[in-house]
């Protein structure tokens, strides 16, 4: 297959349709809104956003194809040799903020850059941010991530380590969640193999996430659990606004700010110097789950 924007663009639009349809099914009522719009220098933005649902408080599944004369600084920090060259980029980015604190927040981003006529790379991955984690859910998430990687070589451990390193709040000395897989500047095996790898990652997101959502969405919760979820959502917002390169890239590229910030949670809170009670369900998140570990080797013997 010739290197070009079209195969990646078609894949990401297909994934947007599939994931939006599944989120509609998980929600059970209501729907997505958002109108396609041309971007300032060419291309297309197709945001799809669900808000105030009964089971999903907010979900965004965003597709973009951008054309420009030169990459924003957030895209050239690691690749300064690409600065000042014309480019095309296409991506799918999604976030789901469930209403039930026992259902984790989940995120995926997949992207392709073609800079000039010869330089190209893929990037992306998916990660999970639970509030009240269940061992079986985290193990399932990572096993499915490993399955996405397996046909393309022994890369899961490396991409998991990348994810643990990236989704980290240095000012809090704390991980955002339980990770997943993450990769930058991916060209391994050439264009066809790289496209197939990215397709595998995209196609494994729903098998990784939907069973967790369906298992936990009917668990009763109260004010305590909701308050803790909103506190942890504050950490999520901090990461997106302070650390995330994707947010900086979107703001620097002149895209619609509503789409760029669609990943932010609809509600969050910042209680001063909050610390969970020792041995509480809230403390279990940091005590047992946020530190990086090899989830493929974890055996759930607790029944949690």
Per DSSP, 275 falls in state: -
Q: List, as own/partner pairs, every contact residues 115-120 make where C-beta atoms lie below 8 angstroms and the sequence separation is at least 24, other chains included.
A: 115/71, 115/82, 115/85, 115/86, 115/87, 116/82, 116/85, 116/86, 116/87, 119/82, 119/85, 120/3, 120/187, 120/191
107 noted as active-site residue: yes
Enter the tokens of residue 108.
């995926």
- The Cα–Cα gap between 139 and 52 comes to 30
8 A C-beta contact, residue 247 and residue 261: yes
Enter the tokens of residue 289.
């789950």
- The Cα–Cα gap between 245 and 260 comes to 11
Per the residue annotation, which of 65, 107, 140, 142 is the catalytic one?
107
Name 120's bridge partners: 114
Mind telling me the catalytic residues? Answer: 107
């Amino acid at each position: 297959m010739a290197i070009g924007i079209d195969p990646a663009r078609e894949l990401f639009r297909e994934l947007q349709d599939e994931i939006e349809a599944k989120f509609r099914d998980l929600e059970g009522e209501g729907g997505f809104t958002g109108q396609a719009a041309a971007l300032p220098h060419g291309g297309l933005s197709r945001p799809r956003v669900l808000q105030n649902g009964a089971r999903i408080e907010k979900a965004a599944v965003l597709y973009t194809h951008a054309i420009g004369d030169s990459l924003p600084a957030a895209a050239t920090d690691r690749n300064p040799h690409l600065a000042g060259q014309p480019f095309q980029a296409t991506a799918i980015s999604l976030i789901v903020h469930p209403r039930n604190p026992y259902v984790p927040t989940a995120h995926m981003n997949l992207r392709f850059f073609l800079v000039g006529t010869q330089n190209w790379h893929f990037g992306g991955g998916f990660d999970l941010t639970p509030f009240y984690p269940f061992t079986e859910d985290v193990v399932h998430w990572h096993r499915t991530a490993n399955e996405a990687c397996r046909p393309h070589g022994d890369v899961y451990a490396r991409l998991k380590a990348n994810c643990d390193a990236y989704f980290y709040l240095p000012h809090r000395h704390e991980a955002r969640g339980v990770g997943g897989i993450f990769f930058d500047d991916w060209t391994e095996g050439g264009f066809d193999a790289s496209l197939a790898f990215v397709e595998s990652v995209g196609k494994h997101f729903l098998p990784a996430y939907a069973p967790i959502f369906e298992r936990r969405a009917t668990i009763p919760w109260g004010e305590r659990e909701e308050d803790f979820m909103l506190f942890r959502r504050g950490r999520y917002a901090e990461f997106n606004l302070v650390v995330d390169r994707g947010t900086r890239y979107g703001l620097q590229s002149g895209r619609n700010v509503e789409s760029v910030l669609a990943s932010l949670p609809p509600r969050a809170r910042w209680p001063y110097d909050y610390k969970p009670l020792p041995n509480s369900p809230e403390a279990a998140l940091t005590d047992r789950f946020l530190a990086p570990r090899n989830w493929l080797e974890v055996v759930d013997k607790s029944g949690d």
